Structure 1
Amino acid sequence: MFFPLQILQYLWTLCCKGQPPPRPEYDLVCIGLTGSGKTSLLSRLCSEATDNIGPTTGFSIKAVPFQNAILNVKELGGADSIKKYWSRYYQGSQGVVFVLDSASTDEDLEMARTELHSALQHPQLCTLPFLILANHQDKPAARTTQEIKKYFELEPLARGKSWILEGSSVDNIDAVKRSFTQLIELLEDKDQDTGRI
């Protein structure tokens, strides 16, 4: 009995390759001051509209799909009334995304610096991989990642930690995807290190 080539190829796919292995999932916490652009970046990563985005009150969770992993991102609102409760949501996180407005006032940048330092030193976050996004790079007043690195004193602060600092903007979502892909690599490395113990 003869089968058309397409049927043979389909049967080969079914019996020999099977379903692709499930993608690993990682739970992340995303923090930053109100107006830093957390919600807009995450919405763009999920291919959602960003027209009518307002500040996050409380928290929201988004499953952000990538080719080699799914990131379950818990975004925490950045208002003063919410920041004091951030640490209640840290438990169970496997990585951290910190978004800052690189074009903000000096006062807001100093506040962002304080919050980042606090997060990097928190017992539940201090050993986790960090992705720091210097957002709004498309604005004229934006500080470069080198300026941010120096001002935030990241080299001494994050010594011994796995961290990435990248510029970002909602208009260049491909660059944001590359930054998250780097974070996934750090998460995979941490998984492998844990498996060796």
Structure 2
Amino acid sequence: MQEQPRTMNACLRALCCKAPPPPRPEFDVVCIGLTGTGKTHLLARLCSESTEGIVPTTGFNIKAVAFPNAILNVKELGGTDSIKKYWSRYYQGSQGVVFVVNSACSQAELETSRAELYSALQHPQLCTLPFLILANQQDRPDARSAHQIKKYFELETLARGKSWILEACTTENMETVKLIFGQFISLLEEKEQEPSRI
């Protein structure tokens, strides 16, 4: 008769006394790109929020995006001309950069995107950080491929010695987007493990 309570106690201990899972690391990331690149829509989908009635961000927007192995605290900055000039005020404390490009934008907008990416890659507060460059809106028929954007932006030359990923994506395929962010998180973890320079 004594065996049953002992077995029950063992089961209760197994259920109740498990150590909590280790906390997921958190990274502060800034998300930039021109208006219309799909930054807000992308973040809403990553957070499983409704995308009904989404409007472009007019200032900045902060979201905690949970992934299996990390949490990204993403500060998304509006991309209009009136806001872009203030982007650098929000760079402090960032550990990584997400730069979103509309793959189907006009040639003039692509040129502006290239100039903004150049500026971000050279900025003193961002130049040593990992970059995730998303060639978004690949579901549009006139979308340029990631390879075309990489070539146009001359990334091999510009970003030499820096830590970056350029990937094509669309919010129609969030599984791929999540895999891309998984790669980016790996870069953030590698950066964090680098010995600090004195």
Percentage of pairs with the same residue: 66
Alpha-carbon separation, structure 1, partners of 2:8 and 2:103 = 54
Instruction: Label 1:123 to 1:21 Cα distance change in 2 as closer, same or farther (>3 A).
Output: same
Task: Describe the SS at the equivalent of 1:97.
Answer: strand
1:9 counterpart (8, 11, 35): 11
**SS at structure 2 position matched to 1:70:** strand
Change in 2 beyond 3 A, CA 1:9/1:165: farther
Any idea what the Cα deviations from partners look like across 1:86-113, whole Å, max 9, x if unmatched?
Answer: 0000000000000010000000000000
Structure 1 pair 5/176, CA: closer, same or farther in 2 (3 Å)? farther
Q: Structure 1 residue 192: deviation in Å?
A: 1.1
Q: How far apart are residue 7 of structure 1 and its match?
A: 5.5
CA deviations over 1:123-164 (Å, ceiling 9, x no partner): 000000000000000000000010000000000111111100
Counterpart of 1:170 in structure 2 is 171
Q: Secondary structure at the match of 2:195?
A: helix
For residue 192 of structure 1, what is the aligned residue in structure 2?
Answer: 193
Post-superposition offset of 1:8: 2.6
CA distance in 2, matches of 1:175, 1:130: 18
1:107–1:21: structure 2 CA closer, same or farther, 3 Å change rule? same
The structure with the larger Rg is 2
- Name 1:110's counterpart in structure 2: 111
Work out the number of aligned pairs and report it.
196
- 2:83 is paired with a residue whose SS is helix
Alpha carbons of structure 1 residues 23 and 10: separation in structure 2 relative to 1, 3 Å: farther
Q: How does 1:135-174 map to 2 (within 5 A)?
A: 135-174=136-175
Equivalent positions of 1:119-138 (< 5 A) are 119-138=120-139
Give 1:196 shift.
9.2
TM superposition shift of 1:4 = 7.7
Counterpart residue type for residue 97 of structure 1: V
Instruction: Classify the secondary structure of the residue corresponding to 1:186.
Output: helix
Secondary structure of the residue that 1:65 maps to in structure 2?
strand
Structure 1 residues 195 and 140, CA gap change in structure 2 (3 angstroms): same
Q: 1:6 offset after TM fit, Å?
A: 6.7
Deviation at 1:9? 3.5
Secondary structure class of the residue paired with 2:20 = coil
Deviation at 1:14, TM superposition (A): 3.9
> What is the distance in 2 between the residues matched to 1:103 and 1:8?
60
Quote the Cα distance in structure 2 between the aligned partners of 1:153 and 1:194: 30
Distance 2:128 2:155 in 1: 15
Distance 1:7 1:170 in 2: 49
Cα distance in 1 for partners of 2:161, 2:143 equals: 28
Letter in 2 for 1:11: R
- Structure 1 unaligned blocks of 5 or more: none
Partner of 2:43: 42
Distance 2:121 2:145 in 1: 21
For 2:92, the equivalent position in structure 1 comes to: 91
How many angstroms apart in 2 are the aligned matches of 1:135 and 1:6?
54
- Which amino acid counterpart does residue 43 of structure 2 have in structure 1? L
Distance 2:142 2:9 in 1: 60
What secondary structure does 1:75 align onto? Answer: strand
